[in-house]
Amino acid sequence: MDKQALLSNIVHGEQSGYVPPELVSTAAAYPEAPQDEEYASAPPANMLDDVVGYEGTTAGGEGRFVPPPISIVEGARRDEPQPQRAWSIPSISEQTAREALLQFASSVCCYSTRPAKQMVFRDLRPYNTFRYRLESFTESRSTEWTTVPYKGQFVDGNVYGLPPLPWDIIVEMPLMFHNHIRNVPVPHTSSIKGCHSCMAMGRRACTNCTATGRVRCQVCNGRGYRLSDDQCNHCNGNGLHRCSLCSGSGTKPCKTCEQSGQLMVYIQLTVKWQNNILEQVADQQSGLPVEAYEKVTGQNVLTDEQVMVYPIVGFPEAQVNRASQKAIQQHQVQLARTSRIIQQRQIIEFIPVTQVFYEWKDKEYNYFTCGVENKVYAPDYPAKCCCCSIL
Ligand SMILES: [Zn+2]
Ligand SMILES: [Zn+2]
Ligand SMILES: [Zn+2]
């Protein structure tokens, strides 16, 4: 395809930047097709043209997934990550440990703050660790035949040229590392067909009255008279009255074509961007459950963003090196087959963790502080009920 033809295929998205994933842009000429369960709106196969490069594209369902062309990132520039070696390891003080526990005890409504105020410190043991995260921002494409009512809008048919292949269509990309879906019509695949739902009539037979325009009278059950032999005044003795759903016409407007009798049939390309995340915390055998790390903030040690990141080697914590190698490999296997990896980002965070041992009323207890916010994890906190602390 020459450059000019390619340029004409550029499909512009919104100018306002990021749009939430549920908002899907479609060119104005292609309004959303009406959805109605009564009508089979998916066009039958004999209504669909043969389009080179789009064989196997069906109507309805989830669309035909189109694998990306052979990776184009081979030979792309790859930078070795340079972890910042001189990170600070904050060792928490007794003062900070007490404040954290006090705050924890007062945040739970029936916990007493007394142990936190009165405790005697025995030991503060650091279990500082690292969190590794890999983000792979991918794009996948699928195609599907679809229809909209034809109301005289522009028809981008095959007279304007050959349709570009799915991965040759230029679609404006959203913000990197954000999930997003965009639907665009494939250029030069549109054509006008008679509506299959109404045989191009624009109206369909009313199913309520089987197209007669009249239904049986509910009051006299169609007899025309009541038990007392009086004539039924609801239907004037006819036993039938006007169908309220079609106003007696026997037909209803076709929702598939919105009464136009014609449909514009075209191939729709669905482009899906997804941020895939793998995360792992180096296990320091501290006894702190993994879930405890999920909501805490770490201190950034390294951010490495490239088209394709390299596994981290030589980081002081060997588990981070292994996590990086495993995650990159896993994303390659999982994602590269079905989508194109546009950009990757790996992040290492330092997570301060301290186990605090203390004594209160001649008994020993311990708790953890975790993350830069010193979030407390204290399942054996001694005064879980206000009444106990009175003793
Ligand atoms: Zn009646
Ligand atoms: Zn009717
Ligand atoms: Zn129709």
Q: What is the pLDDT of residues 104-127, one digit of tens each?
A: 988 887 788 888 999 999 989 888
Structure tokens of 325? 């190698």
Q: What ligand is nearest to the CA atom of residue 245?
A: 2
Q: What ligand is nearest to the CA atom of residue 197?
A: 3
Q: What ligand is nearest to the CA atom of residue 226?
A: 1
Whether 215 has a pLDDT exceeding 90, the answer reads yes
Q: What are phi and psi of 347, to 5 degrees?
A: -130, 135
Residue at token pair 């279990």: 127
Q: Where are the domains of the chain?
A: 98-135+273-390
C-alpha 223 – ligand 2 centre gap (Å)? 20
Smallest CA-to-CA distance from 278 within 336, 340, 326, 338 is with 326
Average pLDDT, integer, range 32-52: 68
C-alpha 216 – ligand 1 centre gap (Å)? 8
Contacts of range 334-337, beta carbons closer than 8 Å, 24 or more positions apart: 334/276, 335/136, 335/138, 335/276, 336/71, 337/67
Q: What ligand is nearest to the CA atom of residue 215?
A: 2
Whether 89 has a pLDDT exceeding 70, the answer reads no
Q: What are phi and psi of 330, to 5 degrees?
A: -60, -45
Residue at token pair 């004037």: 236
Tens-place pLDDT, residues 253-309: 999 999 999 999 999 999 999 999 999 998 888 888 888 888 899 989 899 999 999
Q: Residues, the chain, total?
A: 391
Instruction: Please enumerate in sequence order all residues whose Cβ is within 8 A of that of 382, keeping only pairs 6 or more positions apart, or say none.
Output: 115, 360, 361, 363, 365, 388
- What single-letter DSSP state applies at residue 225? B
pLDDT, greater one: 213 or 10: 213
C-alpha 183 – ligand 3 centre gap (Å)? 24
Q: Position 79: which residue type?
A: D
pLDDT, greater one: 90 or 232: 232
C-alpha 27 – ligand 3 centre gap (Å)? 22
Contact 161, 188 (CB under 8 A): yes
C-alpha 253 – ligand 3 centre gap (Å)? 8
C-alpha 218 – ligand 2 centre gap (Å)? 15
C-alpha 267 – ligand 2 centre gap (Å)? 35
Residue at token pair 């669909």: 48
Residues with CB under 5 A from ligand 1 (ion): 217, 219-220, 232, 234-235
Q: What ligand is nearest to the CA atom of residue 232?
A: 1
Looking at mean pLDDT, say which of 63-72, 205-214, 378-387 comes out highest: 205-214
Calpha distance 382→156 (Å, rounded): 74
Whether 134 has a pLDDT exceeding 90, the answer reads yes
Calpha distance 277→178 (Å, rounded): 11
Taking the CA atoms of the chain, what radius of gyration do you get in angstroms?
A: 34
Scored b (16 or more CB within 10 A) or e, 28-47 reads eebeebeeeeebebbbeeeb
Calpha distance 188→199 (Å, rounded): 25
